[in-house]
């Protein structure tokens, strides 16, 4: 690839280092994931942006045997301000795995911007959405 000519617009004053030849990008942001176990359920609270970079972290966290075996999994997105198509793919994958195993799944606290993307992709009809964790628990009472 030929090196593109320098852009004529101003460069941002600050920012992470560029990835030059041989350079390394910082590892990038990670999600904060907190799990709370109940008798028949698990609540995983996510903090951060779920995207192409962090979706594998989320999927890995939810793939532990304890989390997979719990009858009801609630993913609380109240502190998630950004989701991209990779996040949606992850939600669909979790939903598919859990229903195949006969377990339930719920998403709670979906923010406006995330809901817009769910609606654009028509996933609101596929993924079980609840306003709060309490509502999700009430709806899935054993």
Partner 1 sequence: MLLFARGSPSFITEVRRRVQEVRFDLSAFGLSETARCGARLREAVRTTDSPATAAQRIADFLYDSLRDGHDGPACGAVGVFVIDAPDASGDPTGNGPRYALEGYRGPHPARPGGPAGSDALDPPALASGTAHETPALHRLLERLAVTAQDAQDTDGSAPPDGTGPAVRVSDLQPDELEDALPERDVRRALAYGGTLSPGRRYAVVLLCRVPLPDGTAALFRTIAGSTRLALLSGHPAAPAVRADAVRALLADLEHLTGERAAELQTVVTELRSAATELRRSQRELQQRERELSEEAAIVELLQEVGSGLAAELDLDALVQHAVDAATRLAGAAFGAFFYNVLGETGESYLLYVISGVDRSAFDKFPMPRNTQVFEPTFRGLGVVRSEDITADPRYGHNAPHHGMPEGHLPVRSYLAVPVMARGTVLGGFFFGHPDPGVFTERHERLITGVAAQTAVALQNAQTYRQEREAAMELQRHLLPRLPRVDGIASTSRYLPAARDRGAGGDWVDLIPLADGALALVVGDAMGKGVRAAAVMGQIRTACRAYAQLGLAPAEVLEQLSVLLDDIAPGSIATCVYAVLDTRRDRLRLAVAGHLPPVRRDPGGSARFLDERVGPPLGVGRRPYQEQDVALPPGSRLLLYTDGLVERRGRPIDEGLRLLRELVAGPVGEIEADCDSWLNALADGEHDDDIAMLYLHRPEDAAQQAAVAREYAPVSGAVPDARDLVSRTMREWGLRHLVNDMMLIADEMVANAVRHARTPLRVELRRSGERVVLEVTDSSTEEPRLIVSQPGEFGHRGIFLVDAIATRWGTRPIDGGKVVWAEVKAS
Contacts of partner 1 in 55-84 (CB under 8 A): 56, 82, 84
- Rule CB under 8 A: say whether 16 interacts with partner 1: yes
Residue 111, judged by CB atoms within 10 A of its CB (0-12, 13-18, 19+), counts as middle
Segment contacting partner 1 (CB under 8 A): 35-43, 68-76, 122-130, 132-140? 122-130
Per-residue burial over 7-29, b if 16 or more Cβ lie within 10 Å, else e, is eeeeeeeeeeeeeeeeeeeeeee
Please choose, from the candidates 125, 130, 35, 127, the residue with its C-alpha nearest in 3D space to the C-alpha of residue 78: 130
Q: Taking the mean position of all CA atoms in its chain, how far away is CA 117? A: 13
- The residue (of 1 and 39) whose beta carbon lies closer to partner 1 is 1
Q: Taking the complex as a whole, how short is the minimal distance between the CB of residue 15 and partner 1, in angstroms? A: 6
Which residues are near partner 1 by CB under 8 A? 1-2, 4-5, 7-12, 15-16, 18-20, 23-29, 49, 51-54, 56, 82, 84-86, 88-89, 92-93, 96, 113, 117, 120-123, 125-126
């Amino acid at each position: 690839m030929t090196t593109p000519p320098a852009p004529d617009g101003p460069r941002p004053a600050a920012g992470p280092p560029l990835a030059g030849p041989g350079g390394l990008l910082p590892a990038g942001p990670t999600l904060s994931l907190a799990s709370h176990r109940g008798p028949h359920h698990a609540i995983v609270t996510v903090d951060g942006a779920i995207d192409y970079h962090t979706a594998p972290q989320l999927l890995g966290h939810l793939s532990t045997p304890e989390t997979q075996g719990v009858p009801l999994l609630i993913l609380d997105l109240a502190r998630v301000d950004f989701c991209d198509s990779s996040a949606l793919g992850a939600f669909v994958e979790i939903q598919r795995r859990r229903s195949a195993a006969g377990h339930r799944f719920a998403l709670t606290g979906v923010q406006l911007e995330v809901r817009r993307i769910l609606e654009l992709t028509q996933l609101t009809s596929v993924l079980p959405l609840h306003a709060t964790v309490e509502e999700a628990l009430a709806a899935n009472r054993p």
